[in-house]
Structure 1
């Protein structure tokens, strides 16, 4: 097993997206290709057509950083795409013996759990590189209440397999696109991770939307930003979110949502906290299955 098919598809997808006028090349007559030709990319990168053809066929073995950098410039890659190209090259040169096939079992430190639980007025949860939610505080569970109906929770499964996700996320298309791009980055970093491969296979088989986005070969890295929710109990919330990677924890990140003071979103978060507390009280008061 190697990553040649992934390398080939990624490079071709970036080449197809570039028009000659975007890179200062003249256009003569009718073009039979989408985007740039291989020879045009080779010229921009300062390599032979034969060498670039070898690269686009997926063979990044032994390629130098200077060539990768020239290729990234020729294809006008952004920072995330450039990093992805370097990741693909590292995987191609590492060899199977140096790549962990069986990921370590995740053990969440008690201090991390305390940190999440201590954020009483901010939804916060811990996520791994497969988008599994490993731990969440009550407000995060309330915000994603529909996703938590089926545990273990995986945010990508919810986004693509639960129709209620299109209501919860006001910008569902962007959420879906970014989630797929982030998953592709993780697959490139861990090409022999069976759990990641199984997740891609499952979503590809069950979701046309996922399959289409996965075929686009776009990449994405989660950072801070704003996400718009339409919660079934409290209505719309425009929340700021931060992604806090845990150094040394191999793909674990803490996601924290907040609202600017005095905004409608801040009021909605307070209402969400009250709703969550009521739900917890109702669950505590409900008779156990055997007592009914």
Structure 2
């Protein structure tokens, strides 16, 4: 990602959201742009207009934490937006790579103990994702819950691709607009924390090219902390589920989040999760059965071929030798 462009567009978009009334300033005549003027933000942040203009051109390198806090207050940034601004500043200083350095591996796989933790959750979907919205590990219920995401030919399964490129997402997410907003806000947050992630850059490029809905949301530069709440889904097998969720960042795996969905005890959604668990077990048993039949068929073919070869080598009974 281009850090200077991201800084510039983020600050301009936040400034446009703050009206003079909201900032406690007089409206004062005709305004050519929505929101505050640069001079008004500079005054509120107690910096010169020239200095703030430099920041808004995308130059955050070397800016002190005190100035960043002052700008965040002037623009009335929420916690997620403030964290995003600080992440952009770290990237401008070249420190984000140090803060978020990760081992480079071709394909991440969960430690045995982590998969055991996921599998121990039996009453709700539990999964691990990264900031690109890749599904990296899951328990049985999560694989059944996201069965349409896992059906994609692209690996690893990706929630953002499903959201914007698969028509089935319109059914799975009853409030599609809300889920689309959240998805892009998570990706934008990750772009600020990890601006040199090639996989994220490629994903954003793909979605921007193929989805007008994504491109419009990406240009808004909204960010979000996605930690806890409640969501409603419509699963193709068990129907509507309203689930609470908790997202926990994994201390041992920087950049990865463990998410667990649960239903209210005694609710229709709890019963739907039980039905989903039964369906998942049936699907898994069917898959194992097919695999065993295929293995048995291959084994029989090998035995038959070996037997035929031996008879040919020895000569059939009663044949001339």
TM-score in same-fold range (> 0.5): yes
Whether 1:53 aligns to 2:57 is no
Q: Residue in 1 aligned with 2:64?
A: 64
Q: Which runs of 5+ in 1 are unaligned?
A: none
TM-score (norm 1): 0.93
Q: Residue in 1 aligned with 2:280?
A: 276
Q: Residue in 2 aligned with 1:37?
A: 37
Whether 1:130 aligns to 2:136 is no
Deviation at 1:249, TM superposition (A): 0.7
1:99/1:190 contact within 8 Å kept: no
1:102/1:193 contact within 8 Å kept: no
The 1-side partners of 2:264 and 2:102 are apart by 42
2:90/2:96 contact within 8 Å kept: no
Deviation at 1:14, TM superposition (A): 0.1
Residues 235, 97 of structure 1: alpha-carbon distance in 2 compared, 3 angstrom cutoff: closer
Whether 1:219 aligns to 2:210 is no
1:60/1:89 contact within 8 Å kept: yes
Whether 1:8 aligns to 2:12 is no
Q: Residue in 1 aligned with 2:75?
A: 75
Give per-residue Cα distances to partners, 1:162-216, cap 9 Å, x unaligned. Answer: 1111111122212111111111111111111111111111111111111111100
Instruction: Give the secondary-structure state (helix, strand or coil) at the position aligned to 2:55.
Output: helix
Deviation at 1:132, TM superposition (A): 1.0
1:101/1:193 contact within 8 Å kept: no
Q: Which runs of 5+ in 2 are unaligned?
A: 299-321
Whether 1:153 aligns to 2:138 is no
Residues 224, 181 of structure 1: alpha-carbon distance in 2 compared, 3 angstrom cutoff: same
Q: Residue in 2 aligned with 1:113?
A: 115
Instruction: Give the secondary-structure state (helix, strand or coil) at the position aligned to 1:228.
Output: strand
Q: Which deviates more from structure 2 when the two are superposed, residues 97-106 or residues 231-240?
A: 97-106
Q: Residue in 2 aligned with 1:235?
A: 239
Deviation at 1:104, TM superposition (A): 2.1
Instruction: Give the secondary-structure state (helix, strand or coil) at the position aligned to 1:72.
Output: helix
Aligned residues: 292
Deviation at 1:274, TM superposition (A): 1.5
Deviation at 1:29, TM superposition (A): 2.7
Deviation at 1:30, TM superposition (A): 2.2
2:38/2:49 contact within 8 Å kept: yes
1:241/1:256 contact within 8 Å kept: yes
The 1-side partners of 2:78 and 2:96 are apart by 29
Whether 1:27 aligns to 2:31 is no
Deviation at 1:82, TM superposition (A): 0.6
